Amino acid sequence: MKQSLRIISGMLEGLAFLHEAQGNKFTVVHRDIKSKNILLKAVESVNDGEVALTACIADFGLAAVFSSPQIDDQVMGQVGTFRYMSPEVLEGATEFTVPAFQRIDVYAMALVMWEVLSRTALSDHDEVPPYKQPFEDVTSMYPSLGEMRDVVVSRKLRPQFRPEITKHPVGCLFLSLGEFSNFNVDGFVRPCYCRNSSHSVSDTVVARTSATTVSDTEWDELCWQTLGGERRYNNGLRAPA
């Protein structure tokens, strides 16, 4: 679980950095977030010699840069990987605003987070299921646009977390972050791929939720009891260097 949180934290912080305009840096939307575009690097901790995996976002071939709120022709059309397309993209009903395009990235990132958590071993005796892509149980190996539209828009299906994750102390806490949303869900990953994109949780909020929603004492106690005695992560979900 610790390794998975470290990976997810890196992905979220990377997306938050892309989406946030600061100084001379413009807002960037990736438009093709998927697990194949998340690279992992092994880094040895200077504290305990443990090898940790850090994540970064790659492949900006479809990315768009917004230097102003004005949307231009570079972002028109349905681009990306069908399996990771949000409901509004599959419907061809995207709002042409910067926040709308950011939410499309957030939806795809939530699917990648589901992939990470679905393969997270919670103990030495925890048997994780074989890897599956999002919606693999209900689609062909290479689904068409129409097939994904039927699954995601018409049938409103979403990947489900295995019970072992939702019942795990840290997993439960992780999935419960973000209950500040305007609709009744039990985790911020679920709002990220909610049907109504206007209610999607922004990546910046998600990346910082653990620091603002969970008290230091609560997070410290959970990590101390569940992660083998390691103290609270710095900056929310970020693991010690």
Domain layout of the chain by residue ranges: 2-226
Residue 87 in this model has a pLDDT that exceeds 50 = yes
Residue 114 in this model has a pLDDT that exceeds 50 = yes
Q: What is the pLDDT of residue 193?
A: 54
Which carries the bigger pLDDT value, residue 139 or residue 234? 139
Catalytic-labelled residue, pool 32, 105, 124, 203: 32
Residue 140 in this model has a pLDDT that exceeds 90 = yes
Q: How confident is the model at residue 218 (pLDDT cuts 50, 70, 90)?
A: very low
Active site residue 186: no
- The CATH class for the domain spanning 2-226 reads mainly alpha
Q: What is the pLDDT of residue 192?
A: 60
Alpha carbon dihedral 97, 204, 61, 7, in 10-degree steps, equals -150
N-term to C-term CA, the chain: 17
- Decide if 186 contacts 175 (C-beta within 8 A): yes
Q: How far apart are CA 18 and CA 25, in angstroms?
A: 9
